[in-house]
């Protein structure tokens, strides 16, 4: 289906232009003309593929979420044996951290989406579906780890899943503003994983 | 010094107008004219009190930080005895959560500041000074709690301080988008404090 593939590729091209614009400080002042120029397509093409800026942004969010998921699944399935829960969580958290150009843009796409969702019930609804799905997946992995004896029995999988996802998000702010180094952020994630899995000991 | 007081009051009035505008979805498209109209003053007055939007935003950040600090210190000093570290941390985290109109606007002022700081080395520098100061204060309180036997000896005060500040920030996103209820967010904070202080037991 070459036509279908082409359609999707063009939508991704436009959405990635929107993400680059969002990553330069927000989407408020960004016009259809700006998106078309950044994507190197005509305004008519942008209008053909998306009915509104919000539709573009929703597509961009789904695109970055899928892209991140593919990177994470790719890493996990390339491991020689089924990884322990701590390794799964570390892979997820490091991919969420704004360390690479891709993950920086993904993080800023989420911020842009969040700000527009404040004034758009439709976008807020979309967010309300995505985030809990990720939290539920992490909580499920932690519950499985508990049954396998990898995670202490007194940890609450839902609450811990929340924190595991919030920590890389928060650390990304400091990374983007140059307040933390990558090494510090990774050390922080390792500390919290160690304390969660009960593998932490004082030096 | 009535003149001095008046000057400060007028700056606060303008900064609060800017915060209200920021809380409606960002500052990119906000003009000097918008700020003046929202504050109910002339454009000349805004220009008299602030040289640029960034100067206004920096003043607004300092203002909301001072305001939050006053609320927290006010609550802590009104307690009949010196509160334990867990109570100090809980007070701080609940004040950071976007539960009230004030704290919602404070949170969104931080987001607006963060987005503009991405493109402004001066704002980024200001951020790099403020956040570590708060982290250092929390880490100091945790170290004191450790010496007093309130916090288990194997906790790393710096790493824990980081997480204690990132968790309410992250929960606020869900609160603002109606994905979490206030009760859920507070329960989450209590769980993490219990696990930090070693007071958590499975039901």
SS (H, E, C) A103-161: HHHHHHHHHHHHHHHCCCHHHHHHHHHHHHHHHHHHHHHHHHHHHCCCCCCCCCHHHHH
Taking the C-alpha atoms of residue B159 and residue B63, their distance in angstroms, rounded to an integer, is: 27
* A131 contact partners, CB below 8 Å, separation of at least 6: A165, B174, B179
Range B62-87 average pLDDT: 93
Q: Under CATH, what is the fold of the domain B58-197?
A: Tetracycline Repressor; domain 2 (1.10.357)
Taking the C-alpha atoms of residue A86 and residue A76, their distance in angstroms, rounded to an integer, is: 12
pLDDT at residue B67 is higher than 80: yes
pLDDT at residue A4 is higher than 80: no
A200 in contact with B, Cβ within 8 Å: yes
Which of A119, A159, A167 faces B163 most closely, judged by CB atoms? A167
A27 in contact with B, Cβ within 8 Å: yes
Taking the C-alpha atoms of residue A72 and residue B157, their distance in angstroms, rounded to an integer, is: 31
Q: What percent of chain B has pLDDT over 70?
A: 95
pLDDT at residue A26 is higher than 80: no
A124 in contact with B, Cβ within 8 Å: yes
pLDDT in tens, B81-126: 989 999 999 999 999 999 999 899 999 999 988 988 988 888 888 8
pLDDT at residue B182 is higher than 80: yes
pLDDT in tens, A107-140: 999 998 898 898 888 888 888 888 889 999 999 9
Residues in chain A: 203
Residues in chain B: 203
pLDDT at residue B203 is higher than 60: no
**Region A2-197: CATH code:** 1.10.357.10
CB contacts, 8 Å: A170 with chain B = 162, 165-167, 169-170
Query: Do A140 and A89 form a contact (C-beta atoms < 8 A)?
Result: no
pLDDT in tens, A81-103: 989 999 999 999 999 999 999 89
């Amino acid at each position: 289906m070459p036509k279908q593939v082409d359609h999707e590729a063009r939508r991704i091209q436009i959405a990635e232009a929107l993400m680059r614009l969002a990553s330069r400080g927000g989407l408020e002042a960004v016009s259809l003309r700006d998106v078309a120029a950044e994507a190197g397509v005509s305004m008519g093409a942008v209008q053909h593929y998306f009915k509104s800026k919000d539709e573009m942004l929703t597509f961009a969010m789904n695109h970055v979420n899928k892209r991140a998921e593919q990177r994470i699944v790719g890493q996990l399935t390339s491991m020689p044996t089924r990884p322990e829960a701590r390794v799964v969580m570390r892979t997820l958290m490091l991919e969420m951290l704004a360390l690479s150009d891709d993950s920086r843009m993904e993080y800023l796409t989420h911020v842009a989406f969040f700000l527009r969702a404040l004034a758009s019930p439709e976008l807020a609804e979309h967010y309300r579906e995505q985030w809990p799905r990720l939290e539920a997946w992490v909580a499920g992995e932690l519950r499985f780890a508990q049954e396998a004896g990898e995670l202490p029995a007194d940890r609450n999988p839902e609450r811990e899943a929340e924190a595991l996802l919030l920590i890389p998000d928060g650390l990304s702010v400091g990374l983007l503003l140059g307040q933390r180094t990558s090494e510090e952020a990774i050390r922080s994630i390792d500390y919290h994983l160690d304390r969660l899995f009960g593998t932490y000991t004082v030096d």
